[in-house]
């Protein structure tokens, strides 16, 4: 059966060069990085070289990168620590954040009675910057936690604006950059960001590895206790092959980002034209001109009784796509993100989130469109 993978915001296929690099590390660099002998030191060297390369590709310092098991852990580490160690009393976030941030903050609010405020979302999915500028003014130490690219609808945060607002008001700024790292050549030294996170499997690297960026000078506390790995912030033997794989994946992604981006932009435009022609009445979520190239979310002009079965029908035809975040793709309930911005009567209709990678083709789009016609 033909297989079409259009769920790249959930995870991406791994680059062959990354598999090669990881296999080589697994085969040859097997020492424990904390061991003092030569074989252990080789492993430590590999980690530190990867740290330097990753930092260089992001415009930050190697010492500011802490390796973790992924972005969920990195977000938890930062949010927990900001409150428990840095004394943050107020957090401003939005209702369209990933659950790795939202659920963590909700639990922290319950346990530690922090003030949790939500900046409102405009109908196009952008945050209300004017409201944020007002909310952030406070005597209490405040953390702003907003994602850069929304994983369900692809809206892009104005990093410059938000980092500036935070800087002017002495607020800390945490940004969930999972969906943007590897997609753009960032220079994070240009922005006043205190914390951001990455996850290798979103940019053709391995699953189970990511990192937290913690600005130099900020001292956080561990949430996993044990050894002194990662400056004592993340105990446990480092996953050397995963870290090396993440480094390779980022290097390839950054190097080729322009070609990849141009290819994906043409796929996105092609899909929009096809939907407009063949499914008049399709509602695009957000402004497709300004949402990120790799993610598009739309409501099909189908009867709501098709909603529970659409993904299954597409799956039967070999099409992997989702309605929103991977964690909720089995649910018929509208996603928490769409629930914030889509009108009630449209919310019950079937929507799809299509997310591209460089491996997608125009034929993939044709196949999706033809299959949608038959369901
Ligand atoms: N944040 C965002 C925006 C995501 O899209 C994801 C993954 O779906 C995560 C956090 C969690 O990342 P990980 O799979 O590395 O835990």
Global pTM value: 0.96
Triad 363, 337, 190: Cα angle to 5°: 85
Q: Can you spell out the DSSP letters for 120-187?
A: -B-TTS-B-HHHHHHHT--SS-EEEE--SB-TTT--B--HHHHHHHHHHTT-EEEE--TTTBTTB---
Closest C-alpha among 22, 156, 4, 144 to residue 82: 144
pLDDT > 70: percent of the chain: 98
Annotated catalytic residue 175: no
Which one of 178, 246, 250 would you pick to mutate in the ligand 1 pocket, going by the greatest count of ligand atoms within 8 A of its CB?
178
Q: How confident is the model at residue 330 (pLDDT cuts 50, 70, 90)?
A: low
The two tokens of residue 336 are 């928490």
Ligand 1 atom closest to Cα of residue 71: 15
Query: For ligand 1, what atom is nearest to the CA of residue 75?
Result: 10
The DSSP letter of residue 192 is -
Q: What's the confidence (pLDDT) of residue 342?
A: 93
Pocket of ligand 1 (CB under 6 A): 70-72, 98, 100, 147, 151, 176, 178-179, 199, 210, 326
Q: Distance, CA 103 to ligand 1 centroid (Å)?
A: 13
Residue 319, classed as helix, strand or coil, is strand
- Measured CA to CA, the distance from residue 184 to residue 89 in angstroms comes to 33
Given pLDDT bands bounded at 50, 70 and 90, which one contains residue 324? Answer: confident
Determine the pLDDT at residue 333: 74
Nearest CA to ligand 1 atom 16: 72
Taking the CA of residue 149 as reference, the ligand 1 atom at the shortest distance is 3
Neighbours of 366 (CB within 10 A): 14
Distance 205 CA to ligand 1 centre (A): 13
229 C-alpha to center of ligand 1: Å?
23
Q: How many CA atoms lie within 13 A of 95 on its CB side?
A: 14
Phi, psi of 161 (to 5 degrees): -65, -50
Question: Is the pLDDT at 328 greater than 70, yes or no?
Answer: no
Q: Spot the catalytic one: 82, 166, 175, 327.
A: 327
* CA of residue 199 to ligand 1 center, whole Å: 7
Q: Where are the beta strands (DSSP E) in the chain?
A: 4-5, 65-68, 90-93, 115-118, 142-145, 172-175, 195-199, 210-214, 283-284, 295-299, 319-320, 351-355
């Amino acid at each position: 059966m033909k297989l079409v993978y259009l769920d790249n915001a959930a995870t991406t296929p791994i680059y062959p060069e990354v598999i090669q690099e990881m296999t080589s590390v697994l085969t040859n660099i097997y020492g424990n990085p904390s061991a003092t002998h030569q074989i252990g030191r080789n492993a430590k060297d590999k980690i530190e070289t990867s740290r330097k390369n990753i930092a260089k590709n992001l415009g930050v310092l190697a010492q500011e990168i802490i390796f973790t098991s992924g972005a969920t852990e990195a977000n938890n580490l930062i949010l927990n620590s900001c409150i428990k160690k840095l004394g943050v009393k107020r957090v401003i976030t939005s209702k369209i954040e990933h659950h790795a941030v939202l659920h963590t903050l909700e639990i922290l609010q319950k346990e530690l009675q922090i003030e949790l405020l939500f900046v409102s979302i405009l109908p196009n999915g952008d945050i209300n910057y004017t409201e944020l500028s007002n909310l952030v003014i406070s005597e209490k130490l405040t953390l702003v936690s907003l994602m850069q690219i929304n994983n369900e609808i692809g809206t892009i945060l104005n990093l410059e604006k938000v980092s500036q607002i935070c800087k002017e008001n002495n607020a800390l700024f945490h940004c969930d950059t999972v969906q943007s790292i590897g997609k753009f050549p960032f220079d994070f030294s240009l922005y006043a960001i205190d914390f951001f996170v990455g996850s290798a499997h979103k940019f053709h690297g391995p699953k189970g590895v990511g990192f937290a960026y913690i600005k130099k000078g900020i001292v956080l506390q561990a949430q996993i206790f044990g050894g002194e790995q990662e400056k004592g912030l993340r105990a446990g033997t480092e996953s050397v092959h995963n870290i090396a794989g993440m480094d390779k994946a980022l290097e390839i992604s950054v190097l080729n980002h322009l070609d990849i981006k141009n290819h994906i932009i043409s796929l996105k435009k092609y899909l929009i034209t096809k939907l407009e022609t063949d499914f008049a009445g399709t509602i695009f979520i957000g402004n497709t001109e300004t949402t990120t190239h790799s993610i598009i979310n739309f409501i099909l002009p189908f009867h709501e009784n098709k909603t529970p079965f659409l993904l299954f029908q597409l799956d039967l035809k070999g099409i992997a796509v989702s309605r929103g975040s991977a964690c909720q793709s089995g649910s018929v309930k509208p996603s928490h993100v769409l629930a914030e911005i889509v009108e009630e009567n449209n919310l019950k209709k079937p929507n799809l989130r299509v997310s591209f990678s460089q491996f997608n083709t125009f034929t993939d789009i044709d196949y999706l469109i033809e299959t949608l016609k038959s369901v």
